[in-house]
Amino acid sequence: MRAKIVAGNWKMNKNLAETEALLAELSAKLPNTDAEIMVAPTYVNLASAVRTLESSKIEVIAQNMHYAENGAFTGEISADMLLDIGIDTVIIGHSERRAYFAENDEILSKKVISALGKGMRVMFCFGEELEDRKSGNHFKLVESQLKNVLFNLEPSAWSNIILAYEPVWAIGTGETASPEQAQEMHAFIRKTISEAFDSTIATNVTILYGGSVKPGNAVEIFSKPDVDGGLIGGAALIADDFVAIVKAI
Ligand code: 13P
């Protein structure tokens, strides 16, 4: 069901002590809210984060997983391993995984099928590069990213999918999509899903925006009708900034 969500993707930042310190600060400062609050620390700190947040409303999620159940995949982590430590939501398809680890639609499709098959919730990331936007190809590109990975799923799978539109040119650059650009793309995403499935699925899916969301621009971005929240990178590493963004929702 459509929800308000603010999620922090910590990427490859914060050691164990820093992770615990940031979680303690967030726990102390976060306001009561109906929105779902999520944090994605690095793999090695996930289990301790889950323990620390046991009675908290902050949910710990994973940044990535492998599609295989187990086996000879050095350096990888499976859905079962995440579930075993109490994590049932995983980010799949982040542009940094696509760009630096050669994760293409085929691999991402296997990951999504694997995670959903295990009963996990998938936060699926996608978004265009700057060249796509400059050449006016951004809608087509986003449509193909959705189609190649999500459109062969059963309609029922959509209740476990959260979308995160993250234009690559806005990630870590300080350059945000304008609230109008975010709204325009989110509305396009709902229209595309409505055509491929139906309007109920399109209306009910949660679509987050990610890319240089900061305390100073969050209110305006979140005020757009098709933007249900944010996937936050850099600003999620600073407690006061993340708290301010949560307050914006
Ligand atoms: P920034 O907020 O640092 O631009 O990162 C966004 C992001 O990639 C979240 O997954």
Which protein residue has the closest C-alpha to ligand 1 atom 2? 233
Report the percentage of the chain scoring pLDDT > 70: 100
Pocket residue to mutate for ligand 1, from 13, 42, 231, 238, most atoms within 8 A of Cβ: 231
| Ligand 1 and 166: CB distance under 6 A | yes
Among 166, 169, 217, which is best to mutate for testing ligand 1, by the most ligand atoms less than 8 A from CB?
A: 166
Tokens of 6: 């603010």
Q: What value does the mean pLDDT take over residues 110-118?
A: 98
Section 109-127 average pLDDT: 98
166 assigned to active site:
yes
7 lines ligand 1 (CB under 6 A): no
- Per-residue pLDDT of 37-81, as tens digits, reads 999 999 999 999 999 999 999 999 999 999 999 999 999 999 999
| Ligand 1 atom with minimal separation from the 164 CA | 10
Give the number of the atom of ligand 1 that is nearest the alpha carbon of residue 234: 3
Pocket lining: 230 vs ligand 1, CB cutoff 6 Å: no
At 151-199, the pLDDT tens digits run 999 999 999 999 999 999 998 887 788 999 999 999 999 999 999 999 9
Pocket probe for ligand 1: among 63, 162, 171, 245, the residue whose CB has the most ligand atoms within 8 Å is 171
Cβ(211) – ligand 1 distance below 6 Å:
yes
Return the percentage of the chain with pLDDT > 90, whole number: 96
Q: 45 to each of 11, 119, 143, how far by Cα in Å?
A: 12, 23, 35
Averaged pLDDT of the chain: 97
Average pLDDT over residues 101-126: 98
Residue 175 has a pLDDT of 79
Tell me the CA–centroid distance for residue 243 and ligand 1, in Å: 16
**Ligand 1 neighbourhood includes 149 CB (under 6 angstroms):** no
